[in-house]
Structure 1
Amino acid sequence: MIKQWNRDHFGKVERRIADILLRIKIIDDAEESEQLNPLLLSERAILKCELEKVLIMEEIFWRQRSREIWLKVGDKNTGFFNIIAKVNKRKSRIKRLVIEGRVSDDVNEIKIAFHNHFSAKFVEGEEDRPFPARYRDCLLTPVDNEDLVKPFSELEVWQAIRQSNGSKASGPDGYSFEFYKKAWDIIKCDLLKAFDDFFLAGTLPQSTAHAFICLLPKRDPFETVSDFRPISLLGSLNKVITKVLFNRLLPHMNTLISDYQFTGKRGRVIHESCLIANEVIDSRRRSGKPGAVIKLDIEKAFDSISWKSILKSLTHLGLHSRFRKWLEGLLSSSRLSILVNGESTGFFGMTRGVKQGDPLSPFLFNIGMDILSFILCEIRKEGLITGFYINEESRIGEVTHLLYADDAILFCEANEAEVRNLLAALICFQAITGLQINLEKSRIFPVGEVANIERLVEIFCCDWAFLPTTYLGLPLGCQSPPTAHWNNIVAKTQSRLEGWKGKFLSPGGRIVLINAVLASQSNYISSLFLIPKNIINSLEKIERDFLWSGTREREKLHLVSWELCKTAKNRGGLGIRDLEINNRALLLKWHWRFATERGSWWREMIVAKFPNQQSEWFSGRSSGSLGGSLWARIVKLQPDFWKLTRIEHSQGFWTSF
């Protein structure tokens, strides 16, 4: 019904525009020969108001089809959205596929291949799985649990809806969060009744538990069914309920998730993991002791994790039985259907894996990955492995592993016994969770002189490489990112630009795109590394050319200086972000965080490596060369931070900055 309404009404927007323009033209032509009567004047005014509404509908229509969410200006850019929608449709269409060693372009055969592949992937056998006998027990208190299983209120349901992005693709029922926001007063009674039913039953009606699986290519060009990542499009009621449950869990995330996991913990950011990893490697190098860094590759992580291990973990963590029943009901009632070229291939059940796109999935996956963290901590306590120390001289701040979702990096001594112990720990982890470590894609990186590296990789059944490498998309184990890494950022920015069809954008739209996308391309690495001047010049040249011409195929005259373009709008400029200033501001932010985030793990590690007995407001400095320490380079910017900072003294305490 939703799709038919969209096709019959919203989808015919171009015809409505043409009809309105024709009627306005007829009235305008009549006005040239005689004075219009009040009735025609009123009709023309109404038509013009209607035209404005329909033009807005047209822009929304193409923006939703294009899936471009960055443009939030009142400028009409339907040409841009139209061409992006066509490009997206062409890129996502699967015309042929390698099936059982041969190329097939038969649409039905392709559908069957995807259906069979994913219906088998999400199914687990009946066998039971082992579980650690001494797992982390009863972390939640009775008060915590009462908060988790209290009756659902109208306010928390509305807050979950209001927090959600209304422009995201809808699931099988066709309703988006934008619909829920607009129709809240009409539907809230029925929706709250559905929540009451879920509170008692713990499961969803089968029709509302359906989800589409959208296929995103992992590489270009794609060849086989394994080259696609499944992203779930949940039914609207399912998504609202999971969002409410996620919000209830949010205050308890830091208790439930281990300190070594950097996703899901409140107040943590991805760069903290990269900072600590680089600092412990730098400390190890300075000590002169050999060591090994191991990057793990986990296969199909979200799709293959065992529900049994997740639910057993939650039981040990002390999660209320009713809340566990809700989670189990949401998992077991799920039915999936693969979308191939926009067409459903039929629904099937699932008995393992978590749905990417479900608000609860990251939390459930982290609970499973924490089993690895627990095993590694246990064997460290038994003296079977030794990590790297953030301060090797004082032997404080030991780090054996860091986790970010399914990205895992391990640190150990470069000897055969520890590598064997790690391999045994990973085999136990696989047996408990159902996750598989792809040893062929995993790597060992020697730190210092490791004479027996060939023997270590033989034991671990993987390959090895020299540092630096990348971790979470950032350089790891180097003094500063190599030239190739910076050039790659420039190339990626340029390649993204070529796909944006900038000639269809107005100048206002290009400015929005530059600030929202082009400038933010470098933000990720800018938050931890100082960008070289020549790279900033290259990135700004891309921005300049795009601003004035919309494409690199043709160059146009630059009407004003680039410095004026980077000036704030309230001072007569265009408000384009200055990359150099932005880079330094992001690095200076670490000083602010160091001064204010007392008790955070990353800060404790920095204090352990760079102690400062005189003040807690800033860390100590490196006594020798900077080496590979990122923090030592951030500290060099400390004078700039204090130039921009003022401390106010009040009632005997330093109270504010």
Structure 2
Amino acid sequence: MYARSTARVKVNGMLSETFDLKRGTKQGDPLSAQIFAICIEPLAEKIRNNLKIKGVSVQEDEHKLALYADDIIVYITDIKQTLPALLEEINKYGEISGYKLNHNKTEAMEIGENLENDFKKQFKLKWTRDKVRYLGIKIPNNLENLYQYNYGELLNTIRQDLTRWKIVPLTLFEKVRIIKMNILPRYIFLFQNLPIHIKEKSFKLWESQLRNFLWDGNKPRVKMKVLQDNKEKGGLSLPNLKNYFFATHVRTMLVWFNEQKNPKWKQIELKLWHCRHL
């Protein structure tokens, strides 16, 4: 799978002699994630097959966990029986692999069930009834707060960043680059991973925030639509957030209608809506 791998070290612009890599992989090597996925799968299988660990049932299917590299989210019911069994499986796996829970980052959220404090104290977890964070997305106990915890907090963070950048003397071109390289990726991340309905007033608020940054709070000298045009048309290719929002949703719809792709989230949605095809 991985043989005769070599590397060189660059120090002060000088490259060392080539040497063999006896263990591990190079930084950024795609094989690294694949190897980790293979190594973590035995733990996932143990959790799936353990009858004491009760997951969430959607019709006849039971769902217990989702994995992304070393980030694992587990959704369980019958907590008093399930949680001890779950942690036992993780500890057994850790004794062999060295993989252990990071208790400073491991969060547990109660949904509907009120657990006694004495029960919670048995486990070194960060208990919350409000929200948990997984892969950069804040998942609230109440789904009505999904927008506020993600887009609302992002809006506040960007507002603080733009306020700091106002101190720096920047040209209009430089401000557009900042929006493209720093602001836009943060919105796209949420557009792609949190495909929820966004009201028109939110887009207007975001655009107003960017307009204020571009013109230092003064009256705009060029309309946003002109700035959003291609450079060939006299614009600066300023990102149109609404267009990016719709584009990412179309991408999600392509997965919905592609019967050859069947990720777990799609299976769950189809079950919940009692349909076989879209």
TM class by shorter chain equals 0.7 to 0.9
After TM superposition, give the deviation of residue 492 of structure 1 in Å.
2.5
TM-score normalized with structure 1 length: 0.36
Give the number of the structure with larger relative contact order, counting CA–CA contacts within 8 Å between residues 6 or more apart: 1
User: Is the counterpart of residue 523 in structure 1 residue 214 in structure 2?
Assistant: no
* CA distance in structure 2 between the partners assigned to 1:574 and 1:428 by the alignment: 57
On the 8 A contact 2:5/2:21 being kept in 1, the answer is: yes
After TM superposition, give the deviation of residue 591 of structure 1 in Å.
1.8
The residue aligned with 1:511 is 176
Helix, strand or coil: the match of 1:460? coil
Aligned positions of 1:224-373 closer than 5 A: 330-332=21-23, 356-373=27-44
* CA distance in structure 1 between the partners assigned to 2:9 and 2:166 by the alignment: 34
Question: Which of 203, 206, 209 pairs up with 1:539?
Answer: 206
Give CA-to-partner distance per residue, 1:73-131, whole Å, 9 cap, x none.
xxxxxxxxxxxxxxxxxxxxxxxxxxxxxxxxxxxxxxxxxxxxxxxxxxxxxxxxxxx
On the 8 A contact 2:56/2:76 being kept in 1, the answer is: yes
Aligned positions of 1:195-210 closer than 5 A: 202=4, 204=6, 208=7, 210=9
Give CA-to-partner distance per residue, 1:464-490, whole Å, 9 cap, x none.
211433221113242352535433212
* CA distance in structure 2 between the partners assigned to 1:584 and 1:366 by the alignment: 32
The residue aligned with 2:89 is 425
After TM superposition, give the deviation of residue 403 of structure 1 in Å.
1.2
Give CA-to-partner distance per residue, 1:350-374, whole Å, 9 cap, x none.
xxxx765444433333333223212
On the 8 A contact 2:53/2:86 being kept in 1, the answer is: yes
Tell me which amino acid in the other structure corresponds to 2:37.
Answer: N
* CA distance in structure 2 between the partners assigned to 1:599 and 1:587 by the alignment: 16
* CA distance in structure 2 between the partners assigned to 1:556 and 1:437 by the alignment: 51
Structure having the higher Rg = 1
Give the direction of change, closer, same or farther, for the CA distance of 1:608–1:573 in structure 2 (3 Å limit).
Answer: same
The residue aligned with 1:458 is 121
The residue aligned with 1:385 is 53
User: Is the counterpart of residue 469 in structure 1 residue 132 in structure 2?
Assistant: yes
On the 8 A contact 2:175/2:214 being kept in 1, the answer is: yes
Give CA-to-partner distance per residue, 1:245-297, whole Å, 9 cap, x none.
xxxxxxxxxxxxxxxxxxxxxxxxxxxxxxxxxxxxxxxxxxxxxxxxxxxxx
Tell me which amino acid in the other structure corresponds to 1:531.
Answer: I
Give the direction of change, closer, same or farther, for the CA distance of 1:496–1:331 in structure 2 (3 Å limit).
Answer: farther
* CA distance in structure 2 between the partners assigned to 1:584 and 1:454 by the alignment: 45
Tell me which amino acid in the other structure corresponds to 1:369.
Answer: I
Helix, strand or coil: the match of 2:146? coil
After TM superposition, give the deviation of residue 432 of structure 1 in Å.
1.7
The residue aligned with 1:374 is 45
* CA distance in structure 1 between the partners assigned to 2:70 and 2:17 by the alignment: 27
On the 8 A contact 2:108/2:132 being kept in 1, the answer is: no
After TM superposition, give the deviation of residue 453 of structure 1 in Å.
4.5
Tell me which amino acid in the other structure corresponds to 2:83.
Answer: V
Question: Which of 397, 408, 417 pairs up with 2:72?
Answer: 408
After TM superposition, give the deviation of residue 410 of structure 1 in Å.
1.0
Question: Which of 244, 247, 250 pairs up with 1:585?
Answer: 247
After TM superposition, give the deviation of residue 400 of structure 1 in Å.
0.9
Helix, strand or coil: the match of 1:436? coil
* CA distance in structure 2 between the partners assigned to 1:533 and 1:590 by the alignment: 20
Give the direction of change, closer, same or farther, for the CA distance of 1:210–1:361 in structure 2 (3 Å limit).
Answer: farther
After TM superposition, give the deviation of residue 422 of structure 1 in Å.
0.7
Give the direction of change, closer, same or farther, for the CA distance of 1:591–1:485 in structure 2 (3 Å limit).
Answer: closer
Give CA-to-partner distance per residue, 1:553-595, whole Å, 9 cap, x none.
xx45521222333345555544322212322332233222211
* CA distance in structure 1 between the partners assigned to 2:17 and 2:52 by the alignment: 49
Count of residue pairs brought into register by the alignment: 269
* CA distance in structure 2 between the partners assigned to 1:489 and 1:433 by the alignment: 37
Give the direction of change, closer, same or farther, for the CA distance of 1:515–1:361 in structure 2 (3 Å limit).
Answer: same
Give CA-to-partner distance per residue, 1:479-529, whole Å, 9 cap, x none.
35253543321233234443597634x433433332343223211112223
On the 8 A contact 1:565/1:576 being kept in 2, the answer is: yes
Give the direction of change, closer, same or farther, for the CA distance of 1:237–1:513 in structure 2 (3 Å limit).
Answer: farther
Helix, strand or coil: the match of 1:412? coil
Give CA-to-partner distance per residue, 1:322-380, whole Å, 9 cap, x none.
xxxxxxx7343x7xxxxxxxxxxxxxxxxxxx76544443333333322321221232x
The residue aligned with 1:603 is 266
Helix, strand or coil: the match of 1:403? strand
* CA distance in structure 1 between the partners assigned to 2:86 and 2:17 by the alignment: 43
* CA distance in structure 1 between the partners assigned to 2:10 and 2:101 by the alignment: 28
Give CA-to-partner distance per residue, 1:518-546, whole Å, 9 cap, x none.
22321111222333444433432332233
Give the direction of change, closer, same or farther, for the CA distance of 1:524–1:440 in structure 2 (3 Å limit).
Answer: closer
The residue aligned with 1:565 is 227
On the 8 A contact 1:386/1:412 being kept in 2, the answer is: yes
After TM superposition, give the deviation of residue 402 of structure 1 in Å.
1.0
Q: Return the structure number with greater helix share.
A: 1
* CA distance in structure 2 between the partners assigned to 1:235 and 1:540 by the alignment: 51
* CA distance in structure 1 between the partners assigned to 2:26 and 2:103 by the alignment: 25
* CA distance in structure 1 between the partners assigned to 2:239 and 2:175 by the alignment: 13
User: Is the counterpart of residue 491 in structure 1 residue 156 in structure 2?
Assistant: yes
In structure 1, the gaps of 5 or more residues are 1-147, 150-198, 213-233, 239-328, 335-353, 619-657
The residue aligned with 1:231 is none
TM-score normalized with structure 2 length: 0.78
Give the direction of change, closer, same or farther, for the CA distance of 1:530–1:355 in structure 2 (3 Å limit).
Answer: farther
In structure 2, the gaps of 5 or more residues are none
Aligned positions of 1:49-88 closer than 5 A: none
